[in-house]
């Protein structure tokens, strides 16, 4: 990978969905660059194209126009370098926690002992030591999402795409997981793109927050998170004296974007 180019890049990317009701523009000429090890969030009203942007970054389908680059090279399809984590943990109930966490490796046919050891280490890292032989039905929602995190990290992706991974969880579990995810990704030097509708979560976790405008998706505003907040764990960041001002700035942009209208669903 070329270290001088951004880890992820969108160059003039547009995406059109074609359905029975005709074609609709979901992403409109988007430009975005995410640096190595950077953590960014995408926020914006429902339907503004956040998930579509993640799908394009993951190479799930090609953009209608423009280029998607990973480490300076065009993305042509899904890659083990990019991990994807969703709101649903998608754990398989008949597999143990260990086997769920190792699912990505199994699918890729990566069965070496070192790979197996990494799964055990990751489970320990996310606070699940001792649960390896259990089944998903025996775990709480927060623990299940930790398994999903270990599963996503096991194939050693450079980039993590996170689509509202905490939104189904209770507030305090969600905050614990925000800290855990941020600390783990930082330690491993991963690049991350988080989609969330929770502005405080975006502000507390990210280096930079991208506010998207209403459909068709385009970038309305980029807000850099001040260093003083960035270096703190999310639960601590929320208590920082300048956190409220950051939150308010995001809130203003988000609401201005809503008012500018377009179709309301
Ligand atoms: P968000 O994640 O911000 O809520 P999405 O990226 O899911 O937004 O969707 C952006 C727009 O594209 C919406 O108008 C949505 O209805 C439309 N869309 C998303 N997926 C499809 C699809 N598979 N087929 C047709 N339209 C879609
Ligand atoms: Mg979405």
Q: How far apart are CA 49 and CA 112, in angstroms?
A: 39
Tokens representing 238 are 């929320």
Closest CA to 14 of 260, 216, 262: 216
Residue-range domain boundaries for the chain: 1-81+161-169+189-265, 86-156
For ligand 1, atom 26, the nearest C-alpha belongs to 17
The HSE-up count of residue 153 (CA atoms within 13 Å, CB side) is 28
pLDDT digits 0-9 by tens, 166-221: 998 999 999 999 999 999 999 999 999 999 999 999 999 999 999 999 867 889 99
Give the DSSP H/E element, type plus range, for residue 11. Answer: strand 8-19
pLDDT digits 0-9 by tens, 208-263: 999 999 867 889 999 999 999 999 999 999 999 999 999 999 999 999 877 775 54
Candidate from 21, 23, 25, 26 with most ligand 1 atoms within 8 A of CB, to mutate: 26
Q: How far is the CA of 224 from the centre of ligand 2 (A)?
A: 23
Q: How far is the CA of 133 from the centre of ligand 2 (A)?
A: 33
Pocket of ligand 1 (CB under 6 A): 17, 19, 24, 26, 44, 46-52, 215
Tokens representing 130 are 């001792």
User: Are 122 and 150 a contacting pair, CB within 8 Å?
Assistant: yes
User: Are 220 and 213 a contacting pair, CB within 8 Å?
Assistant: yes
For ligand 1, atom 19, the nearest C-alpha belongs to 52
Architecture of domain 1-81+161-169+189-265: 3-Layer(aba) Sandwich (3.40)
Per-residue DSSP letter, 201: H
């Amino acid at each position: 990978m070329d270290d001088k180019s951004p880890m992820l890049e969108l160059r003039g990317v547009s995406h059109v969905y074609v359905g029975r009701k005709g074609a609709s523009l979901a992403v409109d000429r988007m430009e975005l660059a995410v640096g190595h090890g950077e953590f960014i969030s995408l926020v914006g009203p429902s339907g503004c194209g956040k998930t579509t942007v993640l799908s394009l970054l993951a190479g799930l389908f090609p953009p209608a126009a423009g280029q998607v680059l990973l480490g300076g090279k065009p993305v042509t399809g899904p890659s083990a370098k990019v991990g994807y984590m969703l709101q649903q943990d998608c754990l398989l109930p008949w597999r143990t926690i260990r086997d769920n966490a190792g699912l990505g490796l199994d699918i890729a046919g990566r069965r070496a002992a070192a790979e197996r050891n990494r799964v055990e280490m990751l489970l320990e890292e996310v606070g699940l030591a001792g649960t390896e032989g259990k089944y998903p039905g025996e775990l709480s929602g927060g623990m299940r999402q930790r398994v999903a995190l270990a599963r996503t990290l096991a194939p050693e992706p450079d980039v993590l795409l996170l689509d509202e991974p905490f939104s189904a969880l209770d507030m305090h579990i969600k905050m614990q997981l925000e800290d855990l995810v941020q600390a783990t990704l930082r330690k491993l030097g991963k690049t991350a793109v988080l989609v969330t509708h929770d502005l405080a979560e975006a502000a507390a976790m990210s280096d930079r927050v991208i506010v998207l405008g209403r459909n068709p998706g385009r970038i309305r505003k980029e807000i850099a998170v001040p260093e003083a907040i960035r270096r703190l764990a999310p639960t601590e960041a929320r208590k920082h004296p300048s956190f409220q001002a950051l939150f308010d700035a995001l809130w203003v942009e988000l609401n201005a974007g809503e008012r500018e209208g377009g179709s309301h669903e």
